[in-house]
Amino acid sequence: MARSSLIAVATFGSVGVAAVVSLVWFWVSSGAGRFEPAVGTLGMLGGLTGILAERRASARDRRAAVLATLRDEVRRAGAVLDGPVFAAGGGSSPPRVYPRLPVSAVDAALVSGALTERGDTELLTRLHQWRDEVTGFNRRLEITETRLFGAGAAHEAADFDRALRRGGGCLEVVRRHRGVLADLLDAGR
Amino acid sequence: MALGEIMWAPPPALAGLTALLGELEGPTWVEVVRGDQTEKFVGLMDDLRRRFSATGDGKRITCCYAYMGVEPALAWATACRDLMYPVMKQSIESFGERWRSVQGSVGAPSHYVSLGPGDGQKDGVILDDLPGLCYVPVDASTEMLRLAVRDLIVGRRRTKENVLSLSWDFAAREHLVALRGLLDRVCGDTPVLFSLLGNTLANFDDDADLLRLLATELLRPRDRLLLEVATTRELTAELACAAAAEYESSQTFGEFVTAALRRYTDLHVDRDSVEYVGGVVDDRALMVKMVYRNRTGGDLTFVLPNRAEVRFVEGDTIRLAVSRKYSVSGVEGMLAGAGLAVLADSRSEFTGGSGFGLSLLVLAPRSGSSSAVTLADRVWSR
């Protein structure tokens, strides 16, 4: 058994035993002697529900914060994709450093454990797919820049521009993934 | 190495000549001429004897001859500086900004070969960024060349030792081959920046063929071509009429298109007989034909410089000039056909919401055919 589970069993076991003892104490005692087990039982019950309620509220706040951060990052990714560099119909240009798609909020969200609700399964799947697409897209941008700047192949800028914007290519796919993810995040408000 | 760090070093054969130029006062420079002017007139005489056409497809003065002679050259220079010709004014005034936006993609220091330098205003902007390098203006019109070069030397934007002026026809394959050979000797391995500015390409009947010719005969892998073309947002009959009206509205442009007619014929030129006809051609461009129509109500006879008489019957036309405004896909098609890749493209629209604009492109020869899978395709394939 895991240590966290062992602690939970010990904690709730102790509380349960204490509750049973308090009930038996309340049953066998009489008069003013019943106040003490009654106060102890109600105090334990209040403490338990308070801890659970606080944990639940904290989880909800953390989830809301994570979703807000994700929405902001996906919106910024949309601004990059719709910006002058990647806009549909944008003209060719000399070699340049391309803007990258941000993905740090997605990384943080995936490791935060904030998305654990039953309905978060699809969102988690989409986040993993989006992260893979963005990582691949940004990596291709790096290779493109390395080729154009580092290998003295500035004359190939138009080739790379054409390949990047090709129908059904990486840019189109990453745009589609972003749209799906944005809709999913907006629906989860 | 930054643009302009290398210097123009004249070959030994020219060293003495350039030293002499330095001692001569006034605007002097080296000009290389191929053949004589009478050779050039043979084609013009043939063109002006063509059959009857009511649509401007018969008699014609082609681009090569439209600028020849002092009067047409001066008329063009006047049109270039006409404040009442807004499109020309915007084109020239915005050139510096557009050039600077694409200059970075030109790359290595280059000698500068201007194909059709016009009145030299745009070349002056480029030459300011290419100090010390060789300037080679090329134009069939000796008079246009001299106007452009003289202004640049007088304005001290180029020293006279760094100019090699070529009165050659850059639309002729044999002249291009000779030009390439000359550049190989004079420039060595230094890259060359060629330019074809002011929508000059649109003035040729076979514009796409000319671009292909330049790409195949002139450009080496490290060379670049700076191409400026007029563009249109759409290809519609309404915009074609608007394009025609744009040219028609300029008094000085009207003087220019009729200047060649006055020079080569003894016709009494009536400005009201000049028609500006717009249309859509090949789904790639709007074309404007400037034609002179016999509207006198009777048949005429005009005399050519070789004293040959030509009948010019009622309704017959002489095409004076042709111009185009290309669609984006039209430009892309021409570039693909010529095997040219776009390194940079500065597009600007004229004010007034006309849908017309200019595109200044830095082009390089493609290393392989357009259908080949490039390294870029492999990087961006999924």
For A135-176, how does the pLDDT look when each residue is reduced to its tens digit (9 = 90+)? Answer: 999 999 999 999 988 887 887 887 788 788 776 678 888 988
Contact B380 A157 (CB under 8 A): no
Selected for mutation to probe chain A from B329, B340, B380 (highest A CB count within 10 Å) is B380
State the pLDDT at residue A74: 95
d(CA A143, CA A35): 76
Q: Average pLDDT, stretch B22-32?
A: 75
Structure-model confidence comparison of residues B83 and B299, the more confident one:
B299
Residues of A in contact with B379 (CB under 8 A): 140, 143-144, 147, 160, 163
pLDDT higher than threshold 90 for residue A76: yes
Residues of B in contact with A161 (CB under 8 A): 342
B68-81 b/e (C-beta count within 10 Å ≥ 16 → b): bbebbbbbbbbbbe
d(CA A77, CA A83): 10
pLDDT higher than threshold 70 for residue A110: yes
DSSP 8-state assignment for residue B163: B
CB pairs below 8 Å between A and B: how many?
A: 73
- The closest CB to that of B379, out of A93, A95, A144, belongs to A144
pTM score, whole prediction: 0.62
d(CA B207, CA B281): 12
Per-residue confidence band for B84, with pLDDT thresholds at 50, 70 and 90: confident
Per-residue confidence band for B182, with pLDDT thresholds at 50, 70 and 90: confident
On the 0-12 / 13-18 / 19+ scale of CB atoms within 10 A, B50 is middle
Q: Average pLDDT, stretch B346-350?
A: 81
Alpha helices in A29-116 (DSSP H): 35-82, 104-112
Average pLDDT of every residue of chain A: 86
d(CA B277, CA A91): 31
Residues of B in contact with A160 (CB under 8 A): 376, 379-380
- The closest CB to that of B380, out of A92, A155, A164, belongs to A164
State the pLDDT at residue A159: 78
pLDDT higher than threshold 70 for residue B267: yes
Contact A140 B379 (CB under 8 A): yes
pLDDT higher than threshold 60 for residue A123: yes
Any idea which of B17-31, B128-142, B333-347 has the lowest mean pLDDT? B17-31
Residue A61: CB partners within 8 Å, gap ≥ 6? none
Q: Which amino acid is at B23?
A: E
A173 touches chain B (CB under 8 A): yes
Cβ pair B380, A160 in contact under 8 A: yes
Selected for mutation to probe chain B from A85, A86, A92 (highest B CB count within 10 Å) is A92
State the pLDDT at residue B157: 61
d(CA B139, CA B170): 7
pLDDT higher than threshold 70 for residue A189: no
d(CA B144, CA B167): 9
Selected for mutation to probe chain A from B359, B379, B381, B382 (highest A CB count within 10 Å) is B379
Q: pLDDT (tens digit, 9 = 90+) per residue, B111-153?
A: 899 999 888 888 888 888 877 678 899 998 888 888 888 888 8
A84 touches chain B (CB under 8 A): no
On the 0-12 / 13-18 / 19+ scale of CB atoms within 10 A, A43 is exposed
pLDDT higher than threshold 60 for residue B279: yes
- The question of ipTM being above 0.90 is answered as no
Residues of B in contact with A154 (CB under 8 A): 105, 107, 343
Instruction: Name the closest residue on chain B to residue A137, using Cα atoms.
Output: B380
d(CA B182, CA B138): 12
Per-residue confidence band for B93, with pLDDT thresholds at 50, 70 and 90: confident
State the pLDDT at residue B109: 67
pLDDT higher than threshold 80 for residue B290: yes
d(CA B236, CA B285): 10
State the pLDDT at residue B25: 73
pLDDT higher than threshold 90 for residue A104: yes
Share of chain A above pLDDT 90, in %: 31
A160 touches chain B (CB under 8 A): yes
Contact B380 A173 (CB under 8 A): no
d(CA B162, CA B8): 7
Per-residue confidence band for A68, with pLDDT thresholds at 50, 70 and 90: very high
State the pLDDT at residue B11: 57
Q: Average pLDDT, stretch B318-342?
A: 89
Cβ pair B95, B125 in contact under 8 A: yes
- The closest CB to that of A156, out of B344, B347, B376, belongs to B376
d(CA B79, CA B193): 27
Cβ pair B85, B252 in contact under 8 A: yes
Helix (H, G, I), strand (E, B) or coil at B186: helix
A169 touches chain B (CB under 8 A): yes
State the pLDDT at residue B292: 94
